Structure 1
Amino acid sequence: MSLSSTANGSKFLWRPPAPAPSASCPTGRSRSSWTPTFRSRTGSPPPGRGFNRSPDPRPMEDRTYEPGPEQAVTEAAPAEFPACEPVPQADTACAPEKAAPAPEIEQILAKAVRHIRAKRGGDLAAIILVGSAAREALMPHSDVDLLVLVLGKDNSHELVRVLTRNIDIRYLGVAVAEEQVQTSPRLPIILRKARVLFELEAAGSQLLQKAHARFRHGPPPLTIHEKIRLRTDVLHWLGKAEDRQADPAVARHLISIFLDESITAFYQLRGFWPASPTEHLRFIVQRDGALGDLLRQALSAADLADQLATARRIADHLFKDIPSPARID
């Protein structure tokens, strides 16, 4: 421990230095390294803020500085305070950092770009990384998805493998891509967090700008006739599942189709762009907790009768404001 003096001669004792870094706290910070503790010359806590003490008549060389009983508590750190407690928001020393892209992925992308440039030659306009790789959310079994813009007309696919990943490549003409950005319900979502790997004359960047503008406007609202058609199509699968209860395997398969169609209908009816499949439940729970709970119950139900009953409740909740088709009899 170190002893320091202020301008007016008063002395204060600093808490001991921070402990060495450990696995639980890489910075080694602890509660004891943040705030100085003012002490009296006798080791007992001074009154008030510690500056209105009576002077010590002893010569300086005869004075001793013994830590008080509570100083031992300071050095040992109370049990209720963890060795690495949350730090202020501005200080992220103990917070985990976002992982950088794996070197393997960068190698895969470089090899894929070389393959595409060698294959397409002079009609190549841009190579755009989309999907989980663009979002830095790759899982061990994720593919790497590339959208390749070419001059002229093209709408083909290619599947290749580089190192440990499958590379799914879609070729699309520049003019067709710009048209689909304005009409497709999926392309603006795909391009929302895309990353341009290669481009000529800013073809990729311009497409991303148009996709972002379309995304901000949101999907077009459904008319009442489109809502009635949507309701009818989704309930069609639930009715088939109820008709096939004698064959549980077939009934469960039909229920799974009904649930998928119900999730799609939720996005269309509420005016949301669809989230990725792995985020469907989280997205729905945040915006409609009752529907999210029903979906979880239906997906995890062990009994077929319970699953069918929950599916019917999902339909009633989702389409409660949409009428049936008009009767003509």
Structure 2
Amino acid sequence: MEKDFKEYITPPVMLVVLLLAISLIFVFPVLNMIILGAILAYGIRPIARIIQSKLKFESISIILAMIAVLVPLILLIAYIVSVVSGVLTDFLASNPNFDINAVLTQASVYVPQLSPDNISTTIGDIAKYVANYLVGKIGSIANISLDLFILICSVFYFVKDGDKCYNFIKSFVPDDHIEFFDKTVESVENVLKSIFYGHFLTSVIIGIFGAIGYTLLGYPYGIFLGVITGILQLIPIFGPWPIYWALAINDAFNGNYPRVAVVLLFGFFLSWVDMYIRPAISSHHADIHPLILLVGFLAGPLVYGIVGFIVGPLILGITYVVLDSFRKELTESK
């Protein structure tokens, strides 16, 4: 055993290990962008192939596919900002004498913590935190630009040369472990499909249902409420309930009790749809315990920032399926 181990510790192997360690030190600060680029490339690649079948130019097809994915996200953000600014403008125009201090004073009769002094102190603390955060981000514009550049390049080259990267890695796998490697890669693909379809597609479906339902119930900005419902659906623990409970409470204050009952029933329907659709879609790709994905969603942003919402559950999901594949191989070898 010792002799076999020493046979692997050769100067070339030690040199490779040393170079890999040094390379990892250089790559680690942007590793999250590279991982995210590989994930996005997996989703963009089918679109690029469809476009390429029409254009026959690979690089142009990839760029157009990236734009096709990016533009809807930009339009969605622009729509949200437009609606929010429009609501605030209409509210202030229709209530020129609106006094926030008077409202807080009246509310503090029922909730002492909502006194103007407490609210002012809290708002001041939040404003300072936000200002310090923005100043820090502005000071790191160069780092943000570098991250975005690496992300874009990673997506482009993973879409373009993903097969070459896969074959390069596979060439190092011993022949007696090829089957395990193929099963592991297949499991990783299933995790990606589970996250893409089981979570993002579920959010889109819930958002569409929400937009239709809120519009039929007569709420203004029904489409906007549906969009926010879909976004909240991506966040663990939240889901659609903050929206329909807020609408129900608003209707209760306005005395519209029939619609309170209807919107709550509709909200429970959305939650039921989520509990039915998400497992139904995810189970077709990867059988991963919901707790693993929940921990990934919650802990991911603490490690990788906003990117962690995607990278966190993906890494934990891949780790689980790799360990499961390894366990099955050990069981079969006995």
Q: TM-score range by the shorter chain?
A: under 0.3
More strand by share: 1
More helix by share: 2
Q: Which has the higher contact order (CA 8 A, sep 6+)?
A: 2
TM-score of the superposition, structure 1-length normalised? 0.20
